[in-house]
Structure 1
Amino acid sequence: SAEPPFGGSSGISNSLFNTPFELQNGTPVPNPFDGILNPPRGQAVDWSVFRPILLFGQFQPKMRTQYTSQYNLNIQRELARDLVLQVGYVGSQGHRLLATHDLNFSNPTTCLDLHNISLATGNGDFDCGQFFSESSYFIPAGSIPSGMMLHLPYGSVPSVTGPNPTDITLVGLRPFSSPLCEPTTGAGCPPDGVPVFSSVFAQDTIANSNYNSFQAMLEKRFTKGLQFQASYTWSKSFDEASSFEGILNPIDPHASYSLSQFDARHRFVFSYVWDLPIPKYTGLAEKILNGWQTSGIISLQSGFPIRITSSADNELMNSFDFELPGEPRQLAPLHTQDPRKNGGYGFDPNSFTENASDDSVPPCTTNPGFGCFDPTLFGTLGNAKRTQCCGPGINNFDITILKRTNITESKYLEFRTDFFNIFNHTQFNTPDGNTSDGSDFGRIKRARDPRLVQFALKFFF
């Protein structure tokens, strides 16, 4: 609209395709969505350019009803007329929770078979490894050595034992890479060697959660110019996925069960409001000395769990989305450390290593560190838990100083100063938990806000 207050704004026209946006003066604006095809009317769209297609958000049929059981037992005691103590147990369990997993992850057995066939024949065209899920293979008849087996990811025949009597065509290594492809005959296989589908991330009611806590609270109601509340929680929370972005282990979703990423083992919060006990004055002294108040929040908390993952695809599933299902090999218990004294590292990165296929390196037990590999883990998920406790904690003090100055009975000024993190404590974020990030693995690269001060002046009437 050109009418105030919308004059000069942009408008949207739904009558155009190649120039779907135009300014108020009629100037066309290019389509910002370059990945969307806008062919002329009547011209067919070549959908093959989008292959392999990644699907996300597909809802599984026969989903079950999600539910949560909550339970608590609290004891409350009045210690004084304005002072109450409450202690109790609070817990909950979530069942059949919605979570995301990959229905079309690559078949690691097929990839391992191809790798072994390549080694046995010396033919590099048969080789397979990390990120080979969308690769295509043509294996001529008789190429598989006698006695060696090749598990097929799709088709009517589950496996072939060498020597193979017919040619074998594979277009992708996922169960639904090429849904119409028959490997032993080549019928229905995409002739250009490009799979139809890559990952198919589906949502299903397959996750669970478990929370248990001891909670205590001491509360003083507002009397004599003072009120406060002190709360302490000792808790533990487990789940398979802590957020929408969490991707479950595609083979065994329950294997992702670990500490919730928001788990806070210990948390203490003290909040207060205090009208300073200054004698009442009149005249100019009242304007200066009366009406002072201070309040604040003190937060002390243990750190959040560290998400441990790997994006090297050593598990040969090539299942990538917001998060990765890959888990590294854990060599020793997680050892946290002060990043200020250890080059910015929040934990010892030598506790982990990525799974690998290089059998020329000494075993992990004799040579731990970044160069440590265990060849037996190639094509499998590592033994590290999804999350491990814990990153740096929180030590934060926020304080507000407020001055109210009465002008008349109904009008007054309020000036306040807010100090966030008043002591300027350095509060680090959780360390990098991706073993594929090289020297950044284990390093803390961010911190929470430093000291911030803000002023506000309000006039109430």
Structure 2
Amino acid sequence: MANNSPFSLTAPSIDRTLDVPVPPGQGTGAPNFGVDPSNQIPNTWQWNLTVEREVFRDSKLELAYVGNRGIHLLRYTDANFVNPPSSWLEYSTNSTLLANLIASGEDPATAAADAGSANNGLRPFGRTPACDPLSDPGCGNFGQIDFAEWKGSSNYHALQALYRVRIKSLDAQFAYTYSKSLSDTSLTSSGTTANSTVLLNPINPRLNYGPSFINRPHIFVGNIDYLLPTFTGRNALIRHGLGGWEVASILGYSSGTSMTVFGSGDITGAPGGLTGTGARIDASRPNRVPGQPCRAPSGSPKFQWLNPAAWTINDYQLGSFPTASVGECSGPGLANTDFSVHKNFKVGEKVTLQFRMEFFNVFNKVQFKGFSEDITGIHNDIVGSGFACTSLAATDPDTQSQFNSLCPHGVTNRVAWNFANNGQTNFGQAAADKGPREIQYSLKIEF
């Protein structure tokens, strides 16, 4: 409890001596982490309904509905966030501070740093009763306080089908799953706070509810094993050259995992981020552009997975919440076929010689690496650095028109943003693939 908000205490471990019977004390610092003392044990409820039927001899078909419900899951929030009804004040106050400095003749490029941030002065903890962010931007002593709580939830529903057949020399199995996984917390990295799944608005956790990072709507897998005829009774050349070979294949095809586009990055003059709550700026999302698809348009390079025109923070009203939702797009899927062929040759009575040839990704399809909440494989962070209107120099040709249209009076709470200069140049691009086709041969002697 000593490390829980609003405390941040460290017990000294210095051995006492007669010269120094009581070690020097250590003052309290600003807390940066806390745990909900009323947490509950996580629960997972699972249920299924399965029907099996023999289609014909040595073959069967299974159909199943599978459900899963998770409650009291670990998630993270900011215990010291700026209340959303007041979040616009952070930018408004900063704008006033900036405007005063600019009016006094200071260069807009340096005014933002000199004005400081009113964000901490608007947070509920760490404020003094006389705290006035306008006259003293640094009057708030505490900043963000990551807070672990067991209030997350998830649900999963799936239709699963399995077909298996064994006919003489053939053994095959195929499985297909159509499913949807929804959650308001990360299901893959619940052991760390340094991720982009912190609640965007702690008052409204539903803003974080959507397709989870493990959501793959379609999954198909299969395996086939077939033993070719031995050609018994034929001449030795046919028996040994063509007979007795075994071929096998493994199929794996699935849609990509759900992806969320983030709008993190520094917004000059708005240290509290796009929403103004100050709750984990890396959890912010941009606005969705109506009519624009997630996937890059036809004619784009193959590695350009996402459509840069589908999201924007241009004209984003600071202190509001975005229109882009969680898990609204799908990442690269899987389309892989492996193939192998092998045969055993008898050499005398006690020695067997096995020749094997294996092909991985036999069709040599380019398969881009997938996505996870730490943005591995796909660059999906749309903002390099945004610019608030008060910090735009009107003489800058790159921002002149934006400044005139969005900032007619020099101060506004809307973002002026230039994707080419401020956005990620590799936004929506696959950083790597799973590799080309691989072929390997082996010769094994058993005795």
Q: Report the counterpart of residue 329 of structure 2 in structure 1.
A: 389
What is the TM-score when the length of structure 1 is the normalising length?
0.66
Q: Distance in 1 between matches of 2:353 and 2:103?
A: 80
Are residues 1:276 and 2:228 paired?
Answer: yes
- Uncovered stretches (5+) of structure 2, i.e. residues with no partner: 1-16, 190-194, 266-272, 371-377, 385-422
2:91 to 109, 112, 128: 112
In structure 2, relative to structure 1, the CA distance for the partners of 1:452 and 1:427 (3 Å cut) is same
Structure 2 match to 1:457: 443
Letter in 1 for 2:227: D
- Note the alpha carbon deviations across 1:49-102, whole angstroms, 9 max, x for none: xx87755xx543121111111111111110112110111211111111112333
Q: Does 1:224 align with 2:200?
A: no
Which of 197, 204, 208 pairs up with 2:153?
208
- Secondary structure in 2 matching 1:114: helix
* Structure 1 residues 274 and 72: CA distance shift in structure 2, 3 A: same
Calculate percent identity across the aligned residue pairs: 25
What do you get for the CA RMSD once the two structures are aligned?
3.9
Counterpart among 211, 236, 247 of residue 198 in structure 2? 247
What secondary structure does 1:436 align onto? coil
* More off after superposition, 64-73 vs 387-396: 387-396
Structural mapping, 1:69-148, within 5 Å: 69-105=45-81, 108-109=87-88, 111-118=90-97, 121-122=100-101
Amino acid at match of 2:321: L
Residue 396 of structure 1 deviates from its aligned partner by 1.4
**1:247-300 CA distance string (max 9 Å, x none):** 333523332111112211112222111111231368676554443111111222
1:405 matched to which residue of 2? 345
Distance 1:317 1:415, change over 3 A: farther
**Cα offset, 1:234, TM superposition:** 1.1
Instruction: Find the partner of 2:430 among 444, 451, 454.
Output: 444
- Secondary structure of 2:138's aligned partner: strand
Work out which of the residue numbers 258, 268, 275 in structure 2 matches 1:315: 275
Asked whether the 8 Å contact 2:259–2:327 carries over to 1, the reply is yes
CA contact under 8 A between 1:275 and 1:294: conserved in structure 2?
yes
Q: CA deviation at 1:382?
A: 1.3
Distance apart, 1:308 and its partner CA: 1.1
**Equivalent residue number for residue 348 of structure 1:** 307
Aligned residue for 2:404? none
Q: Which amino acid aligns with 1:308?
A: V
Asked if 1 retains the 8 angstrom alpha-carbon contact of 2:93 and 2:133, the reply is: no
More helix by percentage: 2
Q: Is the 8 A contact 1:151 1:158 kept in 2?
A: no
Work out the number of aligned pairs and report it: 354
2:129 is aligned to 157
Residue of structure 2 in register with 1:294 after alignment: 247
Q: Distance in 2 between matches of 1:169 and 1:447?
A: 48
The match for 2:138 is 170
Matched, 1:325 2:299: no
Unmatched tracts of structure 1, length 5 or more: 1-41, 138-149, 179-197, 355-371
Letter in 2 for 1:443: Q
User: Partner of 2:63: helix, strand, or coil?
Assistant: strand
**2:218 partner letter:** H
Partner of 1:432: 379
Q: Distance in 1 between matches of 2:308 and 2:137?
A: 42
Q: Which amino acid aligns with 1:341?
A: G
More strand by share: 1
Post-superposition shift, 1:211? 0.8
Provide closer, same or farther for how the CA distance between residues 441 and 106 of structure 1 changes in structure 2, counting only shifts above 3 A: farther
Per the normalisation by structure 2, the TM-score is: 0.68
- Structure with bigger RCO (C-alpha 8 Å, 6+ apart): 2
Change (3 A) 1:158 1:46: closer
Query: CA offset at residue 239 of structure 1?
Result: 0.9
Asked if structure 2 preserves the Cα contact closer than 8 Å seen for 1:136 and 1:171, the reply is no
Whether 1:414 and 2:354 are equivalent positions in the alignment is yes
- C-alpha distance in structure 2 between counterparts of 1:447 and 1:85, whole Å: 35
Secondary structure of the residue that 2:383 maps to in structure 1?
helix
1:440 partner SS: coil
